[in-house]
Amino acid sequence: MAKKHPQKPANLIAQNKKAGHDYSILETFEAGLVLTGTEIKSVRKGKINLRDGFARVRNGEAYLENVHISPYEQGNQFNHDPLRNRKLLLHRKEIDKLVGITKNKGITIVPLKVYLKHGFAKVLIGVGQGKHEYDKRETLKRKEQDREMARVLKNR
């Protein structure tokens, strides 16, 4: 059961705008991130890139892969690898649901947003189905039409 999430979290750190363009998001989940000390400091500074990231379930655990968190500037030899796989904290039922959904072809798990909630880093992951090129053009056309209508209504 997916929970309702706020549209714009108060402490939004990073957002993956390309995910909405490339995928039709079917369902969203909020997950905690397991981070090291220097990683959370970099995340709080906004030094995170979600663009090429994805999530994968392995051995009953969910991992966030290919998400770049820049090394902390004041860190020393304890700095982290920028592209390491990070564990996602989800309930067992949510992980089982993700496994069942992603067995279908063309379905992937993408990170949508990273934000702070009560001092902890959370990631909003979405189950997405890849769009075809003509779907992307249609979405852009619809957005342009909505903008044009809003502009006309504003000037009335």
- Residue range 73-109, pLDDT digits in tens: 887 777 778 888 999 999 999 999 999 988 888 888 9
Q: Which domain holds residue 62?
A: 12-131
55 domain residue, yes or no: yes
pTM as predicted: 0.78
Domain total of the chain: 1
Least confidently predicted of 5-14, 63-72, 113-122: 5-14
Q: Considering Cα of 85, then 109, then 30, then 114, what sign does the dihedral take? A: positive
Domain of residue 55, CATH code: 2.40.280.10
Q: How far apart are the first and last CA of the chain?
A: 43
User: What's the CA gap between 153 and 156, in Å, rounded?
Assistant: 5
* Cα three-residue angle 108-131-13, rounded to 5 degrees: 60
